[in-house]
Each structure stands twice: as structure tokens, then as C-alpha cells.
Structure 1
Amino acid sequence: MKEEKENDVHLPWARILIIGFIPLILIFVGFFTVVKYIGVDNYNWIINYVDENFGLLGIFLYVYIVDLLILPLSPDFVFPIVAGMPWYEIVPIIGVASALGGVTGFYIGRLLNHISFVAKISNKAKEKWGRYIAKYGVVFVILAALLPIPFSTVCIASGVMKLESKKVIPACFVRIIRMGIFYFLFKAGLVLV
């Protein structure tokens, strides 16, 4: 009984949510400040430049790669650029790119588990936290899909921990909802300028 209480871990959901929203708030405030400083006309010129020189494929590839790999970049950096583009074009593109990046990262995690060093670490984690990983693993994928926390890292880790693909893949596609919400938040900020 005592051992069970020692191993019982309560996840700090409120703390996870608060920490998850800090990057969004910083990016949003930075975006609002920059657009206010450079002006809407200059902002629109930048949007046209990106659209003409990189196009939707460039935006898709940027979001896909950032959500595939663990990089010091964020897909959130694309919102200031795409907020001036039509939602019906950009939200599906960045949403699907992000979700596919997460799914690909999940399968990369599965492949990484074939490396003996990684397999040893994941087996030790399963021994210690297996019950929690099974219970909350997909919840963390959903939280990472919705909040500005490291989505790629969580997806790769879910692959390493061998979470069920039939649960992880749909959880990755929750990312489309997040991209839509964040797009409209940035769009609203652009309207306020």
C-alpha cells in the first residue's frame, strides 16, 4: 500500500497549460508590436513577397519539417506571415503539414527504438512509468497538438515508447484545430492593428 502511494504521480495539468501558453502569448505580443511598428502596408508587402517567392509549398515544407524534427524553431513563427492570407487556403495546408510532421516523427521514434541505447532507456521508463505512459501518453500528444509545447518531441517520444498508432495518429490530426485557432488569433491581432 505504501509503495503504491509513493509511485502514484499526479500530473500538474494547470502548470502544463500555463507553461504551454507562454510561447503563444510572447509570439502574439511580438507580432502585434512588429506590425504596429512597421505598419500594415509593409506587413502586406512582406506577405506578398513570401507568397510570390516561396508559395504555399514553401509554407507547407517549413511547417512539416519543424514539426517533424526537434529544431530550435516553431511552426508558430509562420502565423505572422500567413495571417494575411485567406484562411480556407492556409489553415488546411499548415494543419495537415503539422499533423503529417507529427505522424512522421512518431514513426521515426519507432525506428529509433531499434537502437539498443534508446531501447534500454525506453524499457527502463516503461518499467518505472509504464502505467502512466499507457494511461496519459496519448493525452500528452493531444496537449502537444493543441498547445505551443514541443509537438515534435512528444510525437517522437510516443513512437519510442511504442504507443498505439491507432491512437497517436488521430491525436496528431488534432493539430489542424490548433492551427485554425492560432491562425484566427493572429488574424484578429492583425485587424486590431
Structure 2
Amino acid sequence: MQKSKKSRAQLLHQYYKYTGFYAFIWANTKKALLPLGIIIGILLYINYKVMSINDMLLYVTQNYSDFSIFSLFFVSESILGLLPPDIFIAWTKGTESPLLYLSLLAVLSFLGGVISYYKGRTLLLVPKINDYLEGKMTKHIRNMQKWGGFLIAVGALLPLPFAIACLAAGMIKFPQRQFYIFASLRVFRFVIYGYAIYSALS
């Protein structure tokens, strides 16, 4: 009796299962949830035990320009995501236009990923930097070669290093059009986390 052919979706599921994609997502999600929980816990503790988060955010907005805060965030998102975006999301709640500012953060984060992508493509032209990055990012490059766009999507949506995924995508010269499509999912992360953080601080 002839076996029925598996659909494309079934074949992809089988491939991602065998190559450890699901295990990778679960392991990294567990690692990322702890820092997120700690950040929210610290914010709640400060809010109820030390001083109102709203007062603290008001102080930041009154003493630092919006441009300087957005610039700091953009630089962080362009250089391997050095600062947690959740801190900046909490900051937007104390601004005059939280949703507008949250949208600007999402756009800047996406653009930071784009810069990381082109950085990966450009830096490969310098032999010494190419050798250094390939040595430091062997695991990320290998994962990107195996999982491609889905790894970019995971980095965009989950609390994982988005900039590193974009850098690895550039290093393997992942198709630009597909990169933009997967990377644009970054916006949804800010919608989801914005709702969670706004709710926790309300």
C-alpha cells in the first residue's frame, strides 16, 4: 500500500523537530522569561514599596529629553540589544502620548535590526572582522543556516537577542525581502509587552 505524501507543513514540522528548533525556542524562552519576570517584579516592588513608578517616569521625562532617550534605545538595538526594551516600554507609559512613543520604539527597534543585518553583510568584506565574527557567532550562524526566517521571527517576537539574529542573517546573506518580512514582526512584540507592562503598572 502506497504511503500518502506528507504536506509541506508536515515536512517543515518534521524538519524543525529533528533539527532541534522547538527545543531551542523552549530553552531560550525559559531563559528569557526569568529576566522579564525579574524586571516586572522589580518595577512592582519599587512602585509599591519605594516610590510610584509614575513619579519616577515623570522625573525621567522632565529631566531627559525624548530625543536622548530614543537615541540611547536606538543605539542599544543596533548594537546587539545591550539594554532591555522593557525598561523603555515602561518609560513610554509616563509620556504624554504613550501609544505614539511605544510605536516609535517599535519602529526604532526594527530599524536597529535592519542596521544589524546590513552590518553582518558589510563586515564580512573585512577578512579579520569576518574571521572574528565567524568564531564568536558560530552557533548563531549555524542556527540561521538551519532555520532561516523562523529564527528571525522568534528573535523578533520573543525576548531573545533580536539584533544577534539579524546580524547572523546578514552574515549568511539571507534574502533581503524575506528578512524585512520576518523582521517586521518585531512590532507585535512591543504591542504584546506594552500591554503587559502597562497593565502591571496601572
Normalising by the residue count of structure 2, what TM-score does the alignment of the two structures yield? Answer: 0.76
Shift of 1:117: 4.1
% identical aligned pairs: 23
> Which of these residues, 57, 62, 65, is aligned with residue 52 of structure 1?
62
Q: After superposition, where does 1:67-106 map in structure 2 within 5 Å?
A: 67-70=77-80, 72-85=82-95, 86-106=97-117
How many residue pairs get aligned? The number is: 178
> Which of these residues, 166, 174, 196, is aligned with residue 185 of structure 1?
196
- CA distance in structure 2 between the aligned counterparts of 1:89 and 1:71, rounded to whole angstroms: 22
Kindly provide the CA deviation profile for residues 86-107 of structure 1, in whole angstroms up to 9, marking residues without a partner as x: 4322221110011111111111
The one-letter amino acid paired with 1:21 is L
1:160 pairs with 2:171: yes
Q: Which residue of 1 aligns with 2:28?
A: 16
* Higher relative contact order (Cα pairs below 8 Å, separated by 6+ residues): 1
Shift of 1:38: 2.3
1:150 pairs with 2:161: yes
The one-letter amino acid paired with 1:10 is G
The one-letter amino acid paired with 1:109 is G
- Checking the alignment, whether the CA contact within 8 Å between 2:58 and 2:94 is kept in structure 1 is no
Shift of 1:69: 0.2
The one-letter amino acid paired with 1:29 is G
The one-letter amino acid paired with 2:46 is V
- CA distance in structure 1 between the aligned counterparts of 2:50 and 2:91, rounded to whole angstroms: 14
Normalising by the residue count of structure 1, what TM-score does the alignment of the two structures yield? Answer: 0.79
- CA distance in structure 1 between the aligned counterparts of 2:187 and 2:67, rounded to whole angstroms: 17
Q: Which residue of 2 aligns with 1:5?
A: none
Shift of 1:135: 5.0
1:62 pairs with 2:61: no
- Checking the alignment, whether the CA contact within 8 Å between 2:144 and 2:151 is kept in structure 1 is no
Once structures 1 and 2 are overlaid, which stretch shifts more, 64-73 or 107-116? 64-73
Q: 1:151 to 1:91 in 2, by over 3 A?
A: same
The one-letter amino acid paired with 1:17 is T
Q: Which runs of 4+ in 1 moved over 3 A?
A: 117-122, 132-135
Residue 163 of structure 1 aligns to a residue in which SS? Answer: coil
Q: 1:179 to 1:167 in 2, by over 3 A?
A: same
Shift of 1:153: 1.5
- CA RMSD across the alignment: 2.6
| Structure 2, gaps ≥5 residues long | 1-17
Q: Which residue of 2 aligns with 1:111?
A: 122
